[in-house]
Chain A
Amino acid sequence: MVTPEGVDLQVELADVGARAGALLLDGLIIAGSMIAATLVCVGLLFAAAAGGAVEKAFSFVGAAWLTVAFVLRNLYFTLFEMTPKGATPGKRIIGLRVAARNGGRLTADAIFARNAMRELELYLPLSFLLVEGRNLDAWSNLAGLIWCGVFVLFPLFNRDRLRVGDLAAGTWVVRAPRRKLAPDLSYDAGAGHARFAFTTAQLDAYGVKELQVLEGVLRRYERKTLTAVAGRIRDKIGWTAGPDESDGEFLGAYYAALRGRLESRLLLGRRRLDKHDKG
């Protein structure tokens, strides 16, 4: 996805399982709210019965219940997707959000269109499965099932995993991860670098891929992995361990030095992808 400023933001598309999970969560939330609303309405009716004004209360409470049902069914998704977060609670839990496919602004019209299509994809098959199926003969049932199947399974058949609603509205659903800024490893390790003087040949042993794997190991900082990796690197570059040199320190210093070497070569335009690449 290229932003209007020309930077290619590598946004990850949500996979079908994640979207199905978010839909399930939203469905549970809607069902839960409907049950809560029904209980409230019933409670109000009982209170009215105790007070003796059941007729008027029934019409009012009935209208309120139907309005809530309508709002929940048709407007729940739309209203939540219009917020700055662009995601319903189910999507937020899984970590997804809606975005415009062409990289521009997400308009309210697009959100309304994609949710109106949900009638066709979700509610029609549901009502078909639950209600109509009994009244029709076998062939009609089969035809109906195929029809519903095409729309429900639409995301599986296209590359960007678009629903029919996404196709009509020009949107897609992407992952929206939040990462924290972790401290820079080269700085922490830099303090003791004078003790570890690696030769150029030793630093030329690895490429960017191994550097980033090493970064992952250092951030997780598990004893056994550190020992194993330190042992492997020492063997490869032929480094004899000093008397009071810990694995963590050695790896930190090697990381800093390796990164410095690879980045300076990067500035000259040579990116060495991994240890087999000649850069």
Chain B
Amino acid sequence: MAELKLKSYRFRAEREDDWLRLERLLAKVEKRSVKALTDDELLAAPVLYRQALSSLSVARATSLDLSLVEYLESLSSRAYFFIYGVRSSLWTRIGRFFAFDWPAAARALGRETLVGAALLLLGLAVGFWMTSTDPDWFNAFVPSGLAGDRGPSASTEALRATLHGGGDKALSAFATFLFTHNAGIAILAFALGFAFCLPTALLLLYNGCTVGAFLALFVSRGLGVEAFAWLMIHGVTELGATVLAGAAGMRIGWTLAFPGDKTRVEAVAEAGRTAAVLMGGVLVMLFCAGLLEGIGRQLIESTPIRYAVAAGTAILWPAYLYLPRAGRGDARG
């Protein structure tokens, strides 16, 4: 007797092998990584993906087998995520980041960086002036954890000792602690930018005030020159990183408030990507600042050398980020 073979069944019988091939391929990729595939499989993947998509379209229109349609949906989704997923290897991505993406992002956010730097300098001036006129403002601006036993009540000798003292105590742990602490603050400055720029601006002002109050205290005891060296050996890098983080956050907040021609969501997404690239760079800068602060500052005792290092960083970072360069990065992957 003739067996009943529905058209949809025959359609399935023809294509089932390809679907199972694609399924095996996807299982391999998901278990391990893209490198687990052979060259043939890699070449076949997009073709199989398109076949699965077309099977899905045909099945939706002609087959009433619910499990088949659902299976093809899930297979197509998985294949789609594989084909259109994140692809470039981590190392090439990192290389491209340092060579092109980060400087390009820094240049793109130049205006916000200037605003952020202005806010920081304003905060510094305010903190300096207020603490110079009335030393008790020091306690308002500098949190006690950061100040340690430095304060208006400390003697000049004690303050001088903090500039040059410090031994070999747990250098690398100290540096790592500073790095994670400062990275947290920078990320906070970035994340707060989402809230329409104001918290970021306040954070930058507050940071500036802290630095200004610090300097005022030392200047009032006649230790200004040395204190500035002590601070700036890593301060150029660290304050630069904070300003960049604030700029990235402000870009997002500004775009949220004034999206321009695009829809708000699109504009924020695009600003978010540029800002995120810059934030990656900020973390690198903070890592370097942590190294300079933790290790460099404890080891280098003479003030002129500290100034030299500070000047070196002040020249190198802007040169790296802002000098125009030839060539562009490829499409990101």
Report which A residues bind B (CB closer than 8 A).
3-5, 7, 9-11, 55, 58-60, 62-63, 66-67, 69-70, 74, 81-86, 97, 99-100, 103-113, 116-117, 119-120, 124, 164, 167-170, 176-182, 184-187, 190-191, 193-194, 208, 211-212, 215-216, 219, 256-257, 259-260, 262-264, 266-267
Contact = CB atoms under 8 A, between A and B. Distances in A.
A181 B273 contact: no
A186 to B, nearest CB: 5
Nearest to A119: B191
Q: Which 10 A-B pairs have the closest CB atoms?
A: A62-B173, A168-B272, A113-B276, A120-B191, A170-B269, A190-B4, A59-B170, A66-B176, A119-B191, A63-B172
Contacts of A168: 194, 252, 268-269, 271-272
Given A179-B74, A180-B71, A260-B4, A58 B332 contact: no
B64 interface: yes
Contact of A176 (B7, B61, B81, B88): B81
Interface in B1-43: 1, 3-9, 12, 16, 19-20, 23, 29-30, 33-34
Nearest to A259: B64
Given A69-B180, A186-B4, A7 B57 contact: yes
28 contacts: A3-B53, A7-B53, A7-B56, A58-B170, A59-B170, A63-B176, A66-B179, A70-B176, A83-B86, A110-B272, A116-B187, A116-B191, A119-B188, A124-B191, A168-B252, A168-B271, A169-B269, A169-B272, A176-B81, A178-B74, A179-B71, A184-B65, A185-B65, A215-B66, A215-B67, A259-B6, A259-B65, A263-B62
- Chain B interface size band reads 35 or more
Given A84-B34, A99-B81, A168-B268, A66 B180 contact: yes
Given A70-B180, A116-B191, A59 B268 contact: no
Given A7-B57, A116-B191, A184-B65, 5 more contacts: A66-B177, A105-B87, A164-B194, A211-B64, A260-B6
Nearest to B52: A7
B71 A182 contact: yes
Contacts, number: 215
Contacts of A120: 188, 191-192, 194-195
Contacts of A69: 180
A191 B5 CA distance: 10
A116 B176 contact: no
A269 B66 CA distance: 19
B188 A190 contact: no
A112 B85 CA distance: 14
Contact of A112 (B73, B74, B80, B276): B276
A48 to B, nearest CB: 13
A31 B137 CA distance: 40
B187 A10 contact: no
B310 interface: no
B273 A113 contact: yes
Contacts of A178: 74, 78
Contact of B93 (A108, A116, A119, A190): A108
A74 B33 CA distance: 23
A116 B281 CA distance: 13
B85 A116 contact: no
A134 to B, nearest CB: 15
B130 to A, nearest CB: 23
A74 B187 contact: yes
A27 B259 CA distance: 35
A63 B276 contact: no
B30 A85 contact: yes
Contacts of B80: 3, 9
Contact of A106 (B6, B66, B86): B86
A8 B38 CA distance: 30
B171 interface: yes
A250 to B, nearest CB: 15
B50 interface: yes
A59 B273 contact: no
Nearest to B332: A107
B119 interface: no
Nearest to B266: A170
B188 A124 contact: yes
B86 A107 contact: yes
Interface string B60-98: 011111111011011111101110111110100100000
Given A66-B176, A263-B64, A266-B62, A105 B70 contact: no
Contact of A263 (B63, B70, B195, B276): B63
Nearest to B183: A70
Contact of B84 (A100, A112, A116, A177): A100
Given A82-B90, A120-B191, A179 B279 contact: no
Contacts of B318: none
Q: Most chain-B Cβ atoms within 10 A of its Cβ — which of A83, A181, A219?
A: A181
B265 interface: yes
B239 interface: no
A66 B181 CA distance: 10
Given A97-B81, A107-B332, A208 B64 contact: yes
B172 A262 contact: no
